[in-house]
Amino acid sequence: MVVLPLPGPGCSRVLSLVHRIQPAQTVLVTSDVHLGAISSEQEQAFRAWLEQAAEVASRIVLNGDLFDFWFEYRWGNTHGHEIALHQLREIVDGGVPVILMGGNHDWWGGRYLRDEVGLDFHQDPIVTEFAGLKTFLAHGDGLGTGDLRYRIARLLLRGSVTRWAFGMLPPALGDWVAREVSHTEERRRNPVAAELQRAAALETWAITELKDRPDLDLLLLGHTHVPEIIDVGSGQWYINTGDWVYHRSYALLREGEAPRLVEWTGSIP
């Protein structure tokens, strides 16, 4: 049991000491796991990473496309992710907050992820602080220039009418439709050059955004499936956390240290 002193002489010194001995924050960030479309070996590796992340991190961030598809229907949710959801619930219950950003494959999360799993779920970019770094966090789809066809489709798919109509489908039927239009498994077998083009476009956008916003220390994206870390200068960094389709990459943010981009090989440094 910890006994805190009553206010009085010396109290401020005690509180100052307590503040100084707080452990440094460690934030782990990954993205584009695409559960449901990756190999069983990759999925097991991700679950092992999550298990260890819960032991060493003060916060875990999943920056979009955790699932190859997720939708909260009128009569249920996307099937097949029960093991991962249970693991995340246990992590949150254990006292480690988990942020989940909506990606272009799982933007349609909502009440279930927030209330039943306990995730801090966001559909839009946020600015927050990770390990002492003021951070712009977004999945990355819709940012930058180009990809006009996708931008139009994105507006339609996220519209209230489309969401209502799709939500009325039986979950099994809706999930089947999503699998038919997803190309993740095909891309896993045959990486496409478009991902490199998308990565270059987002890198250009991110560096420009950082230069225009000197108050930011870090800009974190996913979406491209291409891991990148760039020291922009003046204490600013751009990181794209890559994916778990081709890689097992994640960002390691430790208070008082420079950000790092790491590949999971069985242990977190």
Please report, rounded to a whole number, the percentage of residues in the chain having pLDDT higher than 70. Answer: 71
Is residue 157 predicted with pLDDT exceeding 80? no
Report pLDDT for 81: 85
Sheet holding 249-254, edge to edge: 120-122, 98-101, 59-63, 26-30, 249-254, 260-263
What is d(CA 168, CA 116) in angstroms, rounded to the nearest whole number? Answer: 21
More confident residue, 182 or 9: 182
Asked whether 63 and 221 are in contact (CB, 8 A), the reply is yes
Please report, rounded to a whole number, the percentage of residues in the chain having pLDDT higher than 90. Answer: 58
Going by pLDDT thresholds of 50, 70 and 90, the confidence category of residue 79 is confident
pTM of this structure: 0.81
Write down the domain spans for the chain.
24-263
Is residue 10 predicted with pLDDT exceeding 50? no
Return the CATH number of 24-263, one of 3.90.1150.10, 3.30.70.120, 3.60.21.10, 3.30.930.10: 3.60.21.10
| Closest by CA position to 61, among listed 133, 138, 114 | 138
